[in-house]
Amino acid sequence: MRKIKDVLRLKLDAQLSHERIAASLGLSKGVVAKYVSLAAAAQLDWATIQNLDEGTLQRRLLSAPDKPSEFVFVDYGKVHQELRRKGMTLMLLWEEFVRQHPGQKTHRYSQFCENYRQYARSLKRSMRQVHRAGEKLFVDYAGITVALRGDKRAHIFVAALGASSYTFACATPRESMADWLGSIAKALTFFGGVVQLIVPDNPRAMITNPDRYEPRPNATSEDFARHYGTSILPARPYHPQDKGKVESAVQVVERWILMRLRHQKLRSIDDVNDAIEPLLTQLNQKPFQKLPGSRASCFAEIDAPALQPLPAQAWEFAVFKTVRVHIDQHVEFEGHRYSVPQALVGQQLEVRGTARVVEVLHRGQRVASHARSAHKGGYTTVPEHLSAAHRAHLQWTPERLIHWGETIGVATGRFVVRLLEQRRHPEHGYRACLGLLSLAKRYGKPRLEAACLLALEIGVTKYTNVREILANGRDQERTNDTTQWTSPEHEHVRGAAYYQ
């Protein structure tokens, strides 16, 4: 057990003799004299000694005084930062250092490397990792959330560049896929460029298959990466050291930013982001403890020049769905139907839907694009997509169908109106009306008129009901003159004039 501080306390503060100090501490008088003389040589008084721990005091007393080195001083912190540049080597840095000091004594290359390795070992484990400029962006969510009004909480997204540790943070309402990707997009805009790799952990919102060897992002995340010309490479499951940079950044954000917000009454996500912004600037400008400069200066010098440019258009959140083309040459996406070229009927395609546009992809190639519609059950059709028979079908209108029905008889005209009214949109009844046309060709117009009259009387409004009446011959049991038929029960029927 070290007793150096006790020896000096009893001598310098209590003013005891060497003999009494040696007796009380169980030491020899020679040891007491040695430490007293070393303290005098180091010019240490008791006021200074009492603030030092045993280890520091021993180093101050026993270490030899620093001799001026005959070799030129090397700033290995600067060397460590320069090595983060893509393609940089210790050999090149040593050659440049030698050329900068002609005629002066410099270390040979082997000693230069050994001195740097000793310096690197003195840094934290996460700081010893060599990250190339503009190569990786590490992203994660902080474990601490920020309380909002109404028992809501803001989740804090954190991103840090590998080489400079330049940090970005923002608040989101949740940790959904839209929150993850939207926050990464904000981070890239904040940095003013795009990195080669984005390294998250394995959030279910982004990663479909969190496999250790072949992780696979979901379709929306892959679409995000294609838009920015980057790649998403998740860290290995249960290996936080793979993203030690952001683990450290999360801790710094929690301590430097979130703890300063704990007493503030924040109402919304926007309020949290407004409060984070000035603190984030201060954090990035805060000097490093063991390296020269700050996150901001290191970013401007190393990372910023190596970033790829941002795309010209802003990224839009997109939802992907696998669909199959129906026989009517449409695909269904969120309750609405969109047309595709007729050659793709029966094939499996992929739909990419944004807030404004619905794109249909076949083997990665776009085959159709439509403005997105919120009309459930509706149709969006490009005439050029349809076959000749389907294009002829588009020429039918409610007015034309009602007029055709009235040429057969009053009851048929009324039934056509009913077919159109019962659908949410008149186009949905076109096919049923064309079915009536086929019945007139098969059974004749008089029988069709009689069948429609019977269908209206019994209150049915489907094409199949009229077809069954004709097939069963029930229309032939009636003897009424259908041409004189009117029904006060159906005065609410709109009639052909409504569609003009």
100 and 200 in a single domain? The answer is: no
pLDDT surpasses 80 at 394 = no
Task: Mark which of 334, 353, 387 sits at the end of a domain.
Answer: 387
Total number of domains in the chain: 5
Inside any domain, residue 314: no
Inside any domain, residue 130: no
248 and 374 in a single domain? The answer is: no
Inside any domain, residue 291: yes
67-101 pLDDT, tens digit each: 566 788 888 888 887 887 766 788 888 888 888 88
247 and 145 in a single domain? The answer is: yes
278-295 pLDDT, tens digit each: 999 999 999 887 778 899
Q: 373-382, 423-432, 473-482: which range is least confident on average?
A: 423-432
Whole domain around residue 430: which residue ranges?
Answer: 396-499
Task: Mark which of 306, 335, 370 sits at the end of a domain.
Answer: 306
145 and 288 in a single domain? The answer is: yes
Q: 73-77, 283-287, 385-389, 407-411: which range is least confident on average?
A: 385-389
Confidence label for 487 from pLDDT (cuts 50, 70 and 90): very low
203 and 296 in a single domain? The answer is: yes
Q: Which pLDDT does position 194 carry in this prediction?
A: 94
Q: Which pLDDT does position 87 carry in this prediction?
A: 66
Inside any domain, residue 131: no
401 and 494 in a single domain? The answer is: yes
260 and 179 in a single domain? The answer is: yes
Inside any domain, residue 256: yes
Task: Mark which of 358, 387, 416 sits at the end of a domain.
Answer: 387
Q: Which pLDDT does position 252 carry in this prediction?
A: 87
Inside any domain, residue 290: yes
192 and 234 in a single domain? The answer is: yes
Inside any domain, residue 190: yes
344 and 404 in a single domain? The answer is: no
pTM of full prediction above 0.85: no
Q: Which pLDDT does position 426 carry in this prediction?
A: 55
Confidence label for 43 from pLDDT (cuts 50, 70 and 90): confident
Written in H, E and C, the secondary structure of the chain is: CCCHHHHHHHHHHCCCCHHHHHHHHCCCHHHHHHHHHHHHHCCCCHHHHCCCCHHHHHHHHHCCCCCCCCCCCCCHHHHHHHCCCCCCCHHHHHHHHHHHCCCCCCCCHHHHHHHHHHHHHCCCHHHHCCCCCCCEEEEEECCCCEECCCCCEEEEEEEEECCCCCEEEEEECCCCHHHHHHHHHHHHHHHCCECCEEECCCCCCCEEECCCCCCEECHHHHHHHHHHCCEECCCCCCCHHHHHHHHHHHHHHHHHCHHHHCCCCCCCHHHHHHHHHHHHHHHHHCECCCCCCEHHHHHHHHHHHHCECCCCCCCCCCEEEEEECCCCCEEEECCEEEECCHHHCCCEEEEEECCCEEEEEECCEEEEEEECCCCCCCEECCHHHCCHHHHHHHCCCHHHHHHHHHHHCHHHHHHHHHHHHCCCCHHHHHHHHHHHHHHHHHHCHHHHHHHHHHHHHHCCCCHHHHHHHHHHCHHHHCCCCHHHCCCHHHCCCCCHHHHC
Query: What is the mean predicted confidence (pLDDT) over 399-414?
Result: 86
250 and 165 in a single domain? The answer is: yes
Confidence label for 486 from pLDDT (cuts 50, 70 and 90): very low
Q: Which pLDDT does position 387 carry in this prediction?
A: 64
CATH number of the structural domain spanning residue 177: 3.30.420.10
Q: Which pLDDT does position 88 carry in this prediction?
A: 78
Query: What is the mean predicted confidence (pLDDT) over 467-492?
Result: 63
373 and 330 in a single domain? The answer is: yes
58 and 97 in a single domain? The answer is: no
Confidence label for 186 from pLDDT (cuts 50, 70 and 90): very high
Inside any domain, residue 210: yes
Q: Which pLDDT does position 191 carry in this prediction?
A: 94
Q: 328-337, 429-438, 452-461: which range is least confident on average?
A: 429-438
pLDDT surpasses 60 at 391 = no
